[in-house]
């Protein structure tokens, strides 16, 4: 078996494993919520730590490993891993520590470090659409405000159930 075949097989196995893990997390977290609270579970911190460990591992090899080649592909690969997994770690920790929300029968409040704080009444909800590429639900309100609820967010399933009781198609 040549190296390309093992890379393709590794990519397929990794992709299938990611799909299975993502599906399990989505199904298990959708209905979990304490008093209408919306937040990510412990798994997002584990993901952030995993990304951070790849950064540290790659940084170690960049500084102390023998990555010298004629075309510097080892150095480029290490820098690419550091940048990619570094962004993944920042995003995971940002989501885990800063994304929060609450909902009740009257309204929803939601905060992310990326879009700030939003508070809207359910009576002003205009539409709900699922974005399969981002794996989130976009709640659009009459004011033009959009709240994006990740399908990996604990409690998102309860929000969707409540929206259905309002007569809005999900």
Cα–Cα distance list, 122 to 37, 153, 165 (Å)? 16, 19, 11
pLDDT of residue 20: 74
Which tokens go with 2? Answer: 């040549």
State the Cα torsion 11-46-78-81 to the nearest 10°.
60
**Can you give the residue ranges of every domain in the chain?**
1-33+99-170, 41-98
Q: Kindly give the confidence (pLDDT) of every residue in the chain, 170 residues in length, as a single tens digit, with 9 standing for 90 and above.
A: 455 555 567 667 767 776 776 666 655 554 566 678 999 888 888 889 999 999 999 899 888 877 666 777 778 888 898 999 999 999 999 999 999 999 999 999 999 999 999 999 999 999 999 999 988 999 999 999 999 999 888 888 899 999 999 999 88
CATH topology of domain 1-33+99-170: PH-domain like (2.30.29)
- Distance, CA of 159 to CA of 149 (rounded, Å): 9
Taking the C-alpha atoms of residue 52 and residue 141, their distance in angstroms, rounded to an integer, is 37
SS3 track for 27-52: HHHCCCCCCCEEECCCHHHHHHHHHH
Residue 35's nearest CA partner among 113, 129, 102, 107 is 102
Phi, psi values for residue 30, rounded to 5°: -60, -40
φ and ψ at residue 118, rounded to 5 degrees: -140, 145
Predicted confidence at residue 6, as pLDDT, reads: 58
pTM of the model as a whole: 0.73
């Amino acid at each position: 078996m040549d190296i390309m075949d093992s890379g393709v097989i590794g990519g397929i196995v990794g992709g299938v494993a990611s799909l299975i893990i993502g599906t399990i997390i989505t199904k298990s977290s959708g209905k979990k919520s304490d008093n209408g609270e919306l937040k990510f579970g412990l798994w997002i911190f584990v993901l952030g730590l995993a990304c951070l460990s790849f950064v540290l591992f790659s940084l170690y090899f960049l500084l102390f490993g023998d990555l010298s080649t004629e075309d510097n592909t080892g150095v480029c690969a290490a820098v690419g891993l550091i940048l990619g997994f570094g962004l993944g770690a920042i995003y995971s920790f940002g989501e885990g520590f800063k994304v929060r929300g609450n909902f009740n029968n009257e309204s929803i409040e939601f905060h992310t470090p990326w879009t700030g704080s939003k508070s809207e009444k359910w009576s002003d909800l205009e539409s709900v659409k699922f974005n399969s590429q981002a794996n989130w639900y976009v709640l659009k309100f009459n004011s033009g405000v959009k709240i994006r609820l990740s399908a990996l967010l604990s409690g998102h399933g309860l929000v969707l159930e409540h929206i259905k009781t309002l007569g809005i198609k999900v």
